[in-house]
């Protein structure tokens, strides 16, 4: 609740700050919005999370430990990187280098996938160095998929809220309590921000917010899900973030097929194509968030299974999800035509 109220209270000051530093998103050919809109909304989200965690620590204790502090340091650095991008439009290689540095920092401090459990026994597969490589890749990947899906008012925030809520539930189920407070604060802050970001938005989260949300979802999925997961349950964070993951995968395939740079922006993301089928941006946001909610329900369901049941459910999902992505691609092509 405190994260929600803090974010609500801080949005107006952040709007003034965005105007003062000229972090304003102007309308353009690739833009859906029709009027100049302040960015930097991610600062209100970050501040709301930090205030809620500090208050919870004083009220209940046990909120902060070494891993939590490392995660929050990475969050501040990520928001700082996004702030620079919102102000100066960093080149993609520079932004990727900054993301890599942050990911390497937090992984080297212990925020990594160090083992995978067998779904049938207590056997553990130690990942060693490769666990750190996978963790760095995952953090950078989720940062960018949330950044890429942030193309409609409320879309990235809505999907992030749904994913954070499911990760919160799964962390409770699996007794990974070290990230429960953080995920609860994240849910509250994003929910408060949606009051101003749902179509028509009066403020954007900017890269300050999209990179921050991607970072927090990635590290919380590592600490709250992947460290306790049996091998097949590694699908849980993939299910939770399937909508932005599918959008990014389709974008990369599309750009490679057209032989253009994979960082070249276009208007062919899932939300852009759906706007050609549906009249209202609000309808598209509700549709994609609804799809994300269904997939996150499946993620929670998968976390409740074990042994053979988890393997069978995981294999079914491994078969179904690529088919869903292919059908979606065909549907969007027909809609665009």
C-alpha 231/C-alpha 233 separation (Å) is: 5
Q: Is the pLDDT of residue 161 over 70?
A: yes
If DSSP codes are grouped into helix, strand and coil, which group holds residue 216? helix
For residue 118, the model assigns a pLDDT of 56
User: If you ran DSSP here, which 8-state letter would residue 230 be given?
Assistant: B
Query: Domain limits at 118?
Result: 2-336
C-alpha 169/C-alpha 165 separation (Å) is: 6
If DSSP codes are grouped into helix, strand and coil, which group holds residue 126? strand
Least confident of 28-32, 92-96, 155-159: 28-32
C-alpha 184/C-alpha 186 separation (Å) is: 5
Q: Which residue has the tokens 């991008």?
A: 85
User: If you ran DSSP here, which 8-state letter would residue 24 be given?
Assistant: E
User: How far apart, in Å, are the Cα atoms of 127 and each of 74, 116, 135, 139, 229?
Assistant: 23, 7, 11, 17, 13
For residue 312, the model assigns a pLDDT of 65
**What is the mean predicted confidence (pLDDT) over 195-199?**
90
Confidence of residue 114 (pLDDT cuts 50, 70, 90): confident
Q: Is the pLDDT of residue 308 over 60?
A: no
147 is in an annotated binding site: yes
Q: Which residues contact 211 (CB under 8 A, 6 or more apart)?
A: 42, 78, 79, 81, 82, 85, 99, 143, 146, 147
**What is the mean predicted confidence (pLDDT) over 192-216?**
93
Q: Which of 149, 315, 142 is nearest to 240 (CA)?
A: 142
For residue 116, the model assigns a pLDDT of 72
The pLDDT tens digits of the residues spanning 38-94 come to 999 999 999 999 999 999 888 877 778 888 999 999 999 999 999 999 998 899 999
Could you tell me if 239 and 291 are in contact, meaning their C-beta atoms sit under 8 angstroms apart?
no
Q: How many CB atoms neighbour CB 256 within 10 A?
A: 11
If DSSP codes are grouped into helix, strand and coil, which group holds residue 38? strand
For residue 41, the model assigns a pLDDT of 94
Confidence of residue 11 (pLDDT cuts 50, 70, 90): very high
Confidence of residue 326 (pLDDT cuts 50, 70, 90): low
My answer on whether omega of the bond before 200 falls inside 30° of 0, hence cis, is yes
C-alpha 197/C-alpha 156 separation (Å) is: 10
Q: Which residue has the tokens 């193309």?
A: 151
Q: Which two tokens stand for residue 249?
A: 């995968």
For residue 29, the model assigns a pLDDT of 63
Could you tell me if 156 and 146 are in contact, meaning their C-beta atoms sit under 8 angstroms apart?
yes
More confident residue, 282 or 100: 100
112 is in an annotated binding site: no
Tell me the three-class secondary structure of 147-177, residue by residue.
HHHCCCCCHHHHHHHHHHHHHHHHHHHCCCH
Could you tell me the pTM of the whole model? 0.88
Inter-residue long-range contacts of 326-332, CB under 8 Å, 24+ positions, other chains counted: 328/246, 328/250, 328/270, 329/250, 332/270, 332/273, 332/274, 332/277
Return mean pLDDT, the chain.
84
**Domain tally for the chain?**
1
For residue 137, the model assigns a pLDDT of 95
């Amino acid at each position: 609740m405190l994260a929600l109220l803090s974010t609500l209270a801080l949005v107006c000051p952040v709007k003034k700050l965005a105007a003062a530093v000229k972090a304003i998103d102007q309308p353009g050919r690739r833009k859906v919005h029709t009027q100049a809109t302040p960015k930097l909304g991610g600062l209100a989200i970050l501040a709301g999370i930090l205030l809620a965690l500090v208050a919870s620590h004083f009220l209940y204790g046990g909120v902060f430990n070494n891993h939590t502090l490392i995660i929050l340091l990475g969050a501040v650095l990520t928001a700082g990187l996004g702030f620079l991008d919102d102000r100066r439009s960093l080149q993609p290689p520079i932004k990727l280098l900054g993301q890599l540095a942050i990911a390497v920092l937090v992984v080297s401090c212990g925020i990594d996938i160090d083992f995978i459990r067998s779904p049938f026994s207590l056997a553990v597969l130690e990942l060693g160095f490769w666990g750190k490589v996978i963790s760095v890749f995952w953090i950078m990947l989720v940062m960018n998929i949330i950044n890429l899906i942030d193309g409609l008012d409320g879309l990235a925030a809505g999907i992030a809220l749904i994913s954070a809520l499911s990760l919160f539930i799964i962390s409770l189920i699996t007794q990974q309590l070290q990230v429960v407070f953080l995920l609860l604060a994240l849910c509250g802050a994003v929910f408060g921000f949606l009051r101003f970001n749902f179509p028509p938005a009066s403020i954007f989260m900017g890269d300050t917010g999209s990179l921050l949300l991607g970072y927090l979802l990635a590290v919380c999925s590592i600490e709250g899900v992947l460290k306790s997961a049996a091998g097949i349950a590694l699908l849980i964070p993939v299910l939770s973030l399937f909508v932005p993951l599918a959008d990014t995968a389709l974008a990369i395939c599309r750009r490679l097929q057209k032989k253009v740079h994979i960082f070249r922006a276009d208007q062919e993301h899932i939300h852009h194509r759906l706007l050609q089928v549906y009249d209202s941006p609000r309808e598209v946001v509700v549709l994609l968030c609804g799809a994300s909610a269904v997939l996150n329900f499946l993620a929670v369901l998968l976390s409740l299974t074990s042994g053979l049941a988890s393997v069978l459910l995981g294999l079914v999902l491994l078969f179904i999800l690529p088919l869903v992505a292919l059908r979606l691609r065909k549907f969007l092509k027909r809609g665009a035509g």
